[in-house]
Amino acid sequence: MGIQLSSSTKINKKSRHDIKLMRQAGLIVAKVHALMREMAKPGVSTLDLDIAAEALIREEKALPTFKGYHGFPATLCTSINDRVVHGIPCAEDVLKDGDIISVDVGATYQGMVADAALTIPVGKVDEATMRVLQATEEALYASIAQARAGNYLEDVSGAVEDTNLTYNFGLVKEYGGHSVGYKLHEEPFIHNYRTGVRGPMLQAGNTLAIEPMFCMGTDKVITLEDGWTVVTSDGSPSAHFEHTILITEEGDAEILTCLPSGPFRYFPPTKA
């Protein structure tokens, strides 16, 4: 879930017990995403998706983190086409062939939170729009590769910006990632571009939710009257990908919001 936060120089370190619980929360989030990829077909409403996601989370003995968060009314954020983040599920939003939909979800398991998003193509999506998805997913994994002990938060942000520059899409700056675990949104905010401030050094036990958002057109966004839904100001399509990751004792990043088979990817990794 993208949000606006102030900046901070401290990242909470999680204990081994905390991390064990976050792995379970992350697995539940990954299961929800797998179900959403199966369900997101023409004729299905975003309310249908939300009902199914909440049922799965509760079956797994977890809580839907987003529901009730600052008054948010649903389990999922479902953002179709030009909606960037925080779209509210409803029966009137029925998916059609050619749509793309960002599905953002959090799960709280025994008090610990994991959070992730992906953008799903519905039916046959045109090549130009799929390229936005490809760029955004690529940026996520490029930034995860920089999320290792000894690097700085600015290295993570810079990897998102560098990927965007190779595609020249709009880069949403008002929203971004965050630390996560004890709460859905912990400091510090993770920008999707370089700020010129390197920020805190990453250490083992840090858990981050990294979430780039790219748009086909402008990087300008506006919030609708519902107070939640963020859309591109020019109506262009937008994509959003996110994982919760852990900086391990070995110093690299472990993706917590994936199935045991490994993280789902729409596009193969870019060759070095």
In sequence order, the β-bridge partners of residue 94 are: 45
pTM for the model: 0.95
pLDDT tens-digit profile, the chain (272 residues): 766 555 556 899 999 999 999 999 999 999 999 999 999 999 999 999 999 999 999 999 999 999 999 999 999 999 999 999 999 999 999 999 999 999 999 999 999 999 999 999 999 999 999 999 999 999 999 999 999 999 999 999 999 999 999 999 999 999 999 999 999 999 999 999 999 999 999 999 999 999 999 999 999 999 999 999 999 999 999 999 999 999 999 999 999 999 999 999 999 887 65
Give 158-180 pLDDT, tens digit per residue. 999 999 999 999 999 999 999 99
- Which residues are bridge partners to 222 per DSSP? 231
Domains, the chain, in order of start with CATH, read 16-255 (3.90.230.10)
Full DSSP string of 187-239? EEEE-SS--S---PBP-TTBEEEE--EEESS-S-EEE-TTSS-EEETT---EE
